[in-house]
Amino acid sequence: MAVIIDGKALAAEVDQDTKKQVDSLLKRGLEPHLVVILVGDNEASQIYVRNKSRRAEKLGIKSTVIKLDADTSEQDLLDQIEKLNTDDSVHAILVQMPLPDQINEFKVIETISPKKDADGFNPVNVGRLSAGQMDHTPVACTPKGIMKMLEKYQVNVDGKNVVVVGRSNIVGKPMSYLLLNANATVTVAHSHTANLKQLTKTADILVVAVGKTHFIKVQDIKDDAVVIDVGMDRDENGKLTGDVEFSSADKVASFITPVPKGVGPMTISMLMQQTVELAKWSKE
């Protein structure tokens, strides 16, 4: 049976450390400030934003939510971001995705100052990450959280064969860069990969982020592999589940993340930690 990686407990540890850092910064007169922009009334987005605000408040981080109408023009949103870029009291900016059709997401990501990029999606920061320049570089929060999990559970990445299934800009690509920077041998697989299941079977560490319920089954996993499931899916009964069939996979894996209480809780904790880092870096 696999060791279950407890993302919820680790997230609480990260939060504790973040709270200490916030307290120390507040004593120096520096209040970390995260601004989240929400465009439109997407229900899931509203829940995410509310959760982020609550967590920030709990940790002593100032949190401002700017709500814009669904018919807001792209230019109005870009102007709002530029205003925040030049506001010294703001350290971290996040625009909640998805955005309405009239707004180009890439333009928005590109406009957020690399020095205030809470999500780590700005192409300057992605370029720095891919070049291995990790000093003062914000990184996508989910992959950053996964690296923290591997470190906590003493999973050695150096020299290991890692297969990342999924090539999104949010998880797959930044995950591959972080693993490469940690000396892993990385293969990024996706929907066009031939013989995908044979490939996953070669992985010492398997990271799955495709958004398809139980896409990876026990027969696709090498014995004693470390399995990281980034999926947040709903099964036919509406129950939250992952991209990996947990009930069978945990019989062959050495370590595995559950869904829920696995990767998910780490993402928001890493966002809070990154907000504090951006506040610190703004004064260096």
Domain ranges in the chain are 28-114, 141-264
Q: Which of 119, 204, 220, 229 is catalytic?
A: 119
The stretches of 182-283 forming alpha helices (DSSP H) are: 196-200, 246-249, 263-282
Whether the pLDDT of residue 227 is over 90: the answer is yes
Say whether 168 sits in a helix, a strand or coil: coil
**Average of per-residue pLDDT across 128-137:** 97
Answer yes or no: 119 catalytic: yes
Q: Is 166 annotated as a binding residue?
A: yes
Mean pLDDT, the chain, as a whole number? 97
Whether the pLDDT of residue 191 is over 90: the answer is no
Nearest to 262 by CA among 209, 200, 201: 209
pLDDT tens digits, 32-72: 999 999 999 999 999 999 999 999 999 999 999 999 999 99
Return d(Cα 280, Cα 266) in angstroms, integer.
21
Locate 100 and state its tokens: 């309405």
Q: Is 254 annotated as a binding residue?
A: no
Locate 11 and state its tokens: 């997230």
pLDDT reported for residue 165: 98
Angle between helices 172-181 and 141-152 (to 10 degrees): 40
Whether the pLDDT of residue 236 is over 90: the answer is no
Q: Which of 21, 52, 204, 229 is catalytic?
A: 52
Judge whether 108 and 232 are in contact, CB under 8 Å.
no
- Termini Cα distance of the chain: 47
b/e code 240-276 from CB counts within 10 Å (16+ = b):
ebbbbbbeebbebbbbbbbbebbbbbbbbbbbbbbbb
Q: Which of 80, 96, 273, 274 is catalytic?
A: 96
Domain 28-114 matches domain 141-264 at the CATH topology level: yes
Return d(Cα 132, Cα 114) in angstroms, integer.
16
Q: Is 262 annotated as a binding residue?
A: no
pLDDT tens digits, 74-108: 999 999 999 999 999 999 999 999 999 999 999 99
Return d(Cα 260, Cα 196) in angstroms, integer.
25
Q: Which CATH number fits domain 141-264: 3.40.50.720, 3.30.300.130, 3.40.1190.20, 1.10.1240.10?
A: 3.40.50.720
Answer yes or no: 173 catalytic: no
Locate 273 and state its tokens: 């930690």
Count H helices and E strands in the chain, helices first.
Answer: 10, 11
Answer yes or no: 96 catalytic: yes
DSSP structure class, residue 279: H
Class of domain 28-114: alpha beta
83: buried, middle or exposed (CB in 10 Å: 19+, 13-18, 0-12)? exposed
Say how many C-beta atoms besides its own lie within 10 A of residue 283's C-beta: 9
